[in-house]
Amino acid sequence: MRKFVAADLHGCGEVYDSIMGYLDNVSLLEPVDFTINGDLIDRGLDSFRMLQDVEKRMQSSEGVQIHYLGGNHELMMYDALRKRKPRKWINPFCDWLSCGGWVIEGKLDNREDGKELCDHYRDFMGNLSLYRSFEEKVGDKPVFVVHAQAPKKIVDPCPKKISDRDVSVFFMVWTREKDEYGCTHRIGNSSVFTIVGHTPVTRFPGYSYHSRQNYLNIDGGCAAYANGYFDINSVPLVELKDDHLEILIFNHNNEIVQGYYFNGKSTPMTEAELNRHRMFLNTSYSQKEEDVKKKILDALH
């Protein structure tokens, strides 16, 4: 089975469709396990469609097998729906709305079955797990995937869900290495090689390795792209191998623009190697970049 990880797609439907089209085609030849490492939703206009598609795929025994881990935006959505009252949204809905939840809120609230949808997605978000452990290694450390911070004690399988809402859940989905007050926090765990998202990497190639704490950040900045920063346009898809990672860099125009082998340092793939991956792109998802920009700008105005 081939195992892949991506994070922080934030409702960007073009790159989501490209990644899923690629994985769907790979799965025609061999089984595919895909971990979405939090923040699938919010800010991007296709958030609700992507959420529905992921849920449908999770319920299916065919095709790409998806494991959806909770991030801070899933926690905000859960909290908002948990505290909803008839005909009235109360805090923390306001926080979720201001952080991009408005793209989903209208889909839920302006329907006859809005209450049922709210209850359904409250329970769906509440049941999301927080992390996954893998046998594959980078260096001599097994790979561990969590949205923001690895816990000090790792128990496999993860005993926590979004609905637990305790301090450990908050840290696993919200912690950044450097906060707004200039404080430095631990992200990794010395016993594992940690893959996180949560903090946008706005420079190419959309990922960064932090050797001091031995973790890889793969948040390619889709949240910024969804808000109109079209020059931030590199989204990593990570494949776990026995002793290294392979990282394909997608853009929002259905292209694989670069690829790397990673084992503590990055080695670029050759053009011939990239072309072997590009054969699996689903060309039905192709859109002209100008059309994508126009769609977003029209919605923002």
Name the one residue in this structure whose structure tokens are 């002209």.
288
pTM value is: 0.91
- How much is the pLDDT for 6? 98
> Would you list the domain boundaries of the chain?
2-300
pLDDT reported for residue 111: 72
Residues 138, 245 contacting (CB under 8 angstroms): yes
Biggest CA-to-CA distance, the chain: 58
Q: What are phi and psi of 234, to 5 degrees?
A: -145, 115
- Alpha helix positions (H), the chain: 13-27, 47-59, 72-82, 93-96, 102-109, 114-126, 167-174, 222-226, 271-278, 289-300
Q: What class does CATH assign to 2-300? A: alpha beta
**What's the pLDDT score for residue 182?**
75
102-109 and 114-126 helices, crossing angle to 10°: 130
Among 127, 39, 121, smallest CA distance to 80 is for 121
pLDDT per position in the chain (301 positions), as tens?
Answer: 999 999 999 999 999 999 999 999 999 999 999 999 999 999 999 999 999 999 999 999 899 999 999 999 999 999 999 887 554 555 666 689 889 999 998 888 767 777 889 999 999 999 999 999 999 999 999 999 999 999 999 999 999 999 998 999 999 999 999 877 777 899 999 999 999 999 999 999 999 999 999 999 999 999 999 999 999 999 999 999 999 999 999 999 999 999 999 999 999 999 999 999 999 997 665 555 566 556 556 655 5
Per-residue HEC secondary structure of 210-247 comes to ECCCCEEECCCCHHHHHCCCCCCCCEEEEEECCCCEEE
Report d(CA 182, CA 175) in Å as an integer. Answer: 13
Q: Is there a contact between 195 and 218 (Cβ–Cβ < 8 Å)?
A: yes
